[in-house]
Amino acid sequence: MHKDVESVLLSEKQLEKIVNLLAKKIEKDYNGKEFIMVGLLKGSVAFMADLMKKINLDFSIDFMVASSYGSGTESSGKVKVVSDLTQPVEGKDVLIVEDIVDSGNTLNFICNYLMTKGAKDVRVVTLCDKPARRKVPFKPDYVGTEIPDEFIVGYGLDYDEKYRNLPYIGILKRSVYE
């Protein structure tokens, strides 16, 4: 375990089990549909890479960068699209892949944004859901696990661009960010 991590919240084995369960649900729901899997960078990269390998369907992938965080631990609430999709979503089903739903601001904004671009349907799969921090009424369609109101890192999740490479998800020691 990394010296800045207080405890492991989700082990590699637990993450693998969550990914497999989510992949089965998505595969069932998207069977026969033309869909685009959209990863929200940078945090979703590890989760999306594992998830897409487990879904036995044809789909395309794309990425977006949307930001409402600086280097702090609180969402600013204002969302901006830093890097948009490279392919059109008009008339297509879109599955957004996210590492964590916190305030809900970013995903609420992105879902509405993609619908205005003509997406047929927009759904969200998140590895971690932290409903205690929700600022808007947003509910992901697929949730890997609900987590407590702790600052987590690893498996793509970062604090100030560090810890993304940890193979597990851990609770960051408060002394690191306070």
C-alpha distances (whole Å) from 7 to each of 155, 159, 171 are 14, 16, 5
Both tokens of residue 29? 């729901």
**Shortest CA distance to 151 belongs to which of 167, 175, 135?**
175
Active-site residue identified among 99, 102, 129, 158: 102
CA distance 47 to 126: 9
102 counts as catalytic:
yes
Name the packing angle between helices 12-30 and 45-54 (round to 10°): 60
What residues form DSSP beta bridges with 64? Answer: 40
Unique residue bearing structure tokens 């369609």: 141
**Shortest CA distance to 47 belongs to which of 169, 171, 170, 130?**
169
- Cβ 97 vs Cβ 62: under 8 Å: no
User: Judging by DSSP bridges, how do beta strands 142-146 and 152-153 pair with one another?
Assistant: unpaired
Q: Write out the catalytic residue numbers.
A: 102
